[in-house]
Structure 1
Amino acid sequence: MNKTENKQLQEIVSQQEYPLLFATISGAHLYGFPSPDSDYDLRGVHILPIAEVIGLNSPRETIEISRLEENIELDLVTHDIKKFFGLLLKRNGYVLEQLYSPLIVYTTPEHEELKAIASSCITKHHVYHYLGFAQTQWRLFSKENSPRVKPLLYVYRVLLTGIHLMQTGQIEANLVKLNQQFQLPYIPELIDRKLQGKEKSTLTNTDIDFHEREYLRLCQTLESASQSSNLPENPAAKQILHDLLVRVRIRYGKI
């Protein structure tokens, strides 16, 4: 666990309207290839007051804030605890990556408790999240007039995270760390090109042909990893999540 020492991010999080269960950093910083001008993608869980949950008004299940704070471009998205728990019970890789991000801006004892519980929410059907996300990223990449390194890195990050999850049952979203396992020789060069700036960040037709073959190969590897995975078919933590939800709502969600 790496609790960030960025005081500015901590201050922004502390100003939120509702109590938070946790807030972590996602996006390029989590994936291991932030540029100097990369914005900060903060993700987390807020806890609505009981009155807002049981009343007639529609609860604020998701809160999104985008702003420029001094020299930091910030994108903050939080879900109410009930919505987040519901997403954990589906094949949603986004919320798992947010929950297990080691780049922690704010945490609580219940955050640690939730991480222990959520391992029982991981199933072999999460493969569909990672295959679908990779396919979307590849389509975006291949449609660009001058294909850039950044979306290609997202393709590889997603595929390697998915393969690693199917093989180990553990979330790892950092491409640099993932490549210590997979040893793809072109990954360090792509990351370096992204970090060098725009003049190094586009690819030639020859590059694209090679990466399309790699993309298809890794998609097949991900599908095979799912078929041989020891992960369960269904999540097994619904009742435990229910109990935690009730306890947290009562403790933090004052009327």
Structure 2
Amino acid sequence: MRSIPDSMDPDVVRAVDARLDRVEHEYDVRVLWAIESGSRAWGFPSPDSDYDCRFLYVRRAHDYLGLRARRDVIETPLDKIFDVNGWDVRKALGLMVKGNATVGEWLRSPIVYRGDAAVRDELLALAGDVTDRRALTNHYLHVGRNSLGLYASTKVAKKFLYALRPAVTLRWMRVQEGAATPPMDLPTLVAGCALPADVRAAVEELVRHKSASREMGSIAVPDVLLDFVEAELARAEATLAEPRPPRAGGARDRAWSLADDLFRRLVGGVPQPVG
């Protein structure tokens, strides 16, 4: 599977592909899923935005059976253009069960460098079974509050957008109550959360401004957006302050069991060394 928009520099995309090839060769792993994260995938890039490739990989079975634990992150050299790193799928599955939102976002990125759609679908199905919406709410609330504080001290448009996306995500989760994993990108979130017309227009104008300005350019955000973000974050705080509803007996054990089963299937699909 591959989905690369025409707006992305083809030379940079080829360089990202080459890095992924080197990762597979040098670390003897298989890249299962590689996507763009960051502002390009979130829907509000600047002309000077860097490229944030994230990937999930799996090792051979015998690598997981050794006495010495292997590092569960692979990082490639970081510079002004490239930020390319990934997680062992074992780490990703464990974090998913614990309520981490990052894995679900990677699986729903609109920009895909390479990947097996069937594997992506299995991982999304697992997320649907094990995702703790309260943990997701806490995650997006934390990100939103921190980013809003950074905007207040810097007035950098990027920092406000980093608060806006979590706020819109929290609203999307409330409107789409039966869905498990929210979309990654702001346009899809906006389309699915019934924003008031004035808020939606202000969001679109802010994204237009960001698309024509420097990555760290400043802006005076209109009150309609500041009020919207504050209201959504406050509503999430009120929800988390309520007593947690009781979970079904054995729910956590079932979640780990489902994740274990998928992990074994993924490892079983990797050819083993000869001899």
Q: Same fold (TM over 0.5)?
A: yes
User: 1:251: Cα distance to partner?
Assistant: 2.2
- Counterpart contact for 1:23–1:105, Cα < 8 Å: yes
Q: Note if contact 1:124-1:232 (Cα within 8 Å) is conserved in structure 2.
A: no
Aligned residue in 2 for 1:15: 22
Q: Name the counterpart of 2:54.
A: 43
Once residues 162 and 85 of structure 1 are traced to their aligned partners in structure 2, the CA distance between those partners, rounded to angstroms, is: 23
Equivalence map 1:138-157=2 (5 Å):
138-144=148-154, 147-157=155-165
Distance 1:101 1:226 in 2: 27
Contact 2:109–2:185 under 8 Å retained in 1: no
Tell me the equivalent position of 2:105: 97
2:118 paired with 1:80: no
Amino acid at match of 1:244: L
After superposing the two structures, state which structure 1 stretch, 93-102 or 44-53, moved more: 44-53
- The CA RMSD measured in Å over matched residues stands at 3.0
2:117 is aligned with 1:117: no
Please list every run of 5 or more consecutive structure 1 residues that lacks an aligned counterpart in the other structure: none
Residue 264 of structure 2: aligned partner: 246
Aligned amino acid, residue 126 of structure 2: I
Q: What are the superposed Cα offsets for residues 83-122 of structure 1, whole Å, 9 maximum, x if unpaired?
A: 1000111221111101121321111232222222221122
Using the alignment, how far apart are the partners of 1:152 and 1:179 within structure 2?
A: 16
Tell me the alpha carbon deviations over residues 39-79 of structure 1, each in whole angstroms, 9 at most, x when there is no partner. 111112111233332223331201122445xxx92211211
**Which whole-Å CA distance do the structure 2 matches of 1:49 and 1:20 have between them?**
12
Report which stretch shifted further, 95-104 or 207-216: 207-216
State how far apart, in whole Å, the 2-side matches of 1:148 and 1:63 are.
31
Aligned to 1:189: 205
Amino acid at match of 1:49: R
Aligned-partner Cα distance in 2 for 1:96–1:200? 27
Q: 1:40 to 1:212 in 2, by over 3 A?
A: same
Shift of 1:151: 0.8
Give the aligned residue type for 2:140: Y
Do residues 214 (structure 1) and 222 (structure 2) align? no
1:58–1:239 Cα change, 3 Å: closer
- Against the structure 1 CA distance between its residues 67 and 220, is the aligned structure 2 distance closer, same or farther, given a 3 Å change threshold? closer
Q: Percent identity?
A: 24
1:217 Cα shift? 1.0
The alignment's TM-score, normalised by the length of structure 2, stands at 0.77
Unaligned runs of 5+ in 2: none
Q: What is the rounded CA distance, in whole Å, between the counterparts of 2:76 and 2:160 in structure 1?
A: 27
| Secondary structure in structure 2 of the residue aligned to 1:161 | helix
Maintained 8 Å contact 2:73/2:85 = yes
Q: Would you say how many aligned residue pairs link Structure 1 and Structure 2?
A: 246
TM-score between both structures, scaled by the size of structure 1: 0.83
- Cα distance in 2, alignment partners of residues 20 and 198 from structure 1: 33
- Contact persistence 1:2–1:102 (CA under 8 A): no
Match among 127, 133, 136 for residue 143 of structure 2: 133
Please tell me the residue identity of whatever aligns with 1:213.
Answer: D
Contact 2:96/2:104 (<8 A) preserved: yes
Cα gap change, 1:141 to 1:199, in 2 (>3 Å)? closer
